[in-house]
Structure 1
Amino acid sequence: MYPVVRVIKELIVNKRRPKLHPLDTHVSYHRCWPQDIDTYLEMNNGRILTIMDLGRTGLAQRVGLIDLLKRKRWGLTMAGVSVRYRRRIRPFAKFRVISKTAGWDHRFVYLDQSIWIGDTCAAQAMYRSALTSKDGIVAPDEAFAALGYDGASPALPDWIKNWIDADATRPWPPTDAST
């Protein structure tokens, strides 16, 4: 079940926090509750992605993206993700999610997120997202300009560029192995 109460909490908390520049970093704080764990007594990998969704929601709110989406009647969609899990998140553990825009190309915005327990990184994800309108994908440059940033994208790290290149070789649609 989607954590609606957590979403409401994040929206309330982040409404009071200072606005961020579109390239600033957002940090949110969470705890692993019993409903987050799986049969291995650690946070479920799917829940980790949902918690990262909460981090992106806070980032979007603080940079003004949520208001922009409403004003322009745009949507926001995730178009890919690469995740690395490295440490278990145990029940009742406190952790923080760090969310920031890594950069963009002509179609997609790349978001870098990580979950930290103290000084230890438990998981990291790179999300590819797209802004959409009734006419299709909105150019990220247009969206960042509407948020008050007219500069170029920060240089994407090599590992993100390599992921983009590798993902472009992936066949779509995939082969239906059931036939």
Structure 2
Amino acid sequence: MYPFLRMFWGLHRAKSMPRMGLFDTHVSEHRCWPQDIDMWMELNNGRTLTMYDLGRIPMTARLGVMDVLKSERWGITVAGSVVRYRRRIRPFEKFEMRSRGLFWDDKFFYMDQTIWKKNGECANHAVFRTAVTDRSGIVAPDKVMAKIGNTDPSPEPPEWVTHWLKAEETRPWPPVKT
């Protein structure tokens, strides 16, 4: 089940935090609970993606995007991700999540997220391609940026993200049925 209570708690906490800039880092503390683990007694890889929601969505609240989503009756969705897993998170282990915006293009926003163990090791790293949506489809990022009062252009993406995006362009859609 989706961790709604944890999400609401994260949003509640975000409301009491100062507003942040587009490329500032939102830091949140989490714990791996028994419902988050798999049969190998570690944070499940799929649950890790859900845990990243618990950092990304409060971050958007601190950016002022949630207010715009509500007023415009827009939604937000994940359109792609790339994740690298390197260290296990064990049951009851506390960890820190760091979430920040990277850049945007004509359709999507890109966000960088990491999970850090208490000993300072990075457990995993993800980049998410997200979109703001309305009833007609994707809302242009420039329109969203104008609504939150940003007129600055997007920074350039990191080189490795550019390579990921170029690789994604070669990927067939829909996939070939096998």
TM-score normalised by structure 1 residue count:
0.95
The CA deviation string for residues 43-69 of structure 1, in whole angstroms up to 9 with x for no partner, is 001111111011011101111111100
Give me the whole-angstrom Cα distance separating, in 2, the residues matched to 1:60 and 1:160.
21
In structure 1, C-alpha distance between the alignment counterparts of 2:80 and 2:166, rounded to whole Å: 13
What is aligned with 1:51? 51
Q: What is the aligned partner in structure 1 of residue 167 from structure 2? A: 166
Question: Which string of whole-angstrom CA distances, capped at 9 and with x for unpartnered residues, describes residues 2-31 of structure 1?
Answer: 111101211111111111122221111101
What is the alpha-carbon root mean square deviation over aligned residues? 1.0
Alignment-derived partner of residue 130 in structure 1: 131
Aligned position for 1:156? 157
Alignment deviations for residues 136-157 of structure 1 (CA, whole Å, 9 cap, x no partner): 2111122112112110111100
- Asked whether the equivalents of residues 43 and 89 of structure 1 are also in contact (C-alpha less than 8 Å), the reply is yes
1:68-83 equivalences under 5 Å are 68-83=68-83
**Which piece of structure 1 moves more, 145-154 or 161-170?**
145-154
Per-residue deviation, residues 113-170 of structure 1 (Å, max 9, x unmatched)? 0100131110111100111122321111221121121101111001111111100100
Kindly, what percent of the aligned residue pairs are identical? 51
Counterpart Cα distance in 2 of 1:146 and 1:82: 28
Answer whether contact 1:95 1:115 (CA < 8 A) is retained: yes
Match of 1:140 in 2: 141
What SS class does the counterpart of residue 21 from structure 1 fall into?
coil
What is residue 3 of structure 2 aligned with on the other side?
Answer: 3
Give the unaligned 5+ runs of structure 1: none
Q: 1:83-114: per-residue Cα shift (whole Å, max 9, x none)?
A: 00000001111111111111011111111001
- Residue in 2 aligned with 1:15? 15
Inter-partner Cα distance in structure 1 for 2:68 and 2:24:
17
CA contact (8 A) 1:23 1:100 kept: yes
1:4 and 1:105 map into 2 onto residues whose CA distance is 30
List alignment gaps of at least 5 residues for structure 2. none
Partners of 1:59 and 1:154 in 2: how far apart? 19
Residue 33 of structure 1 corresponds to 33
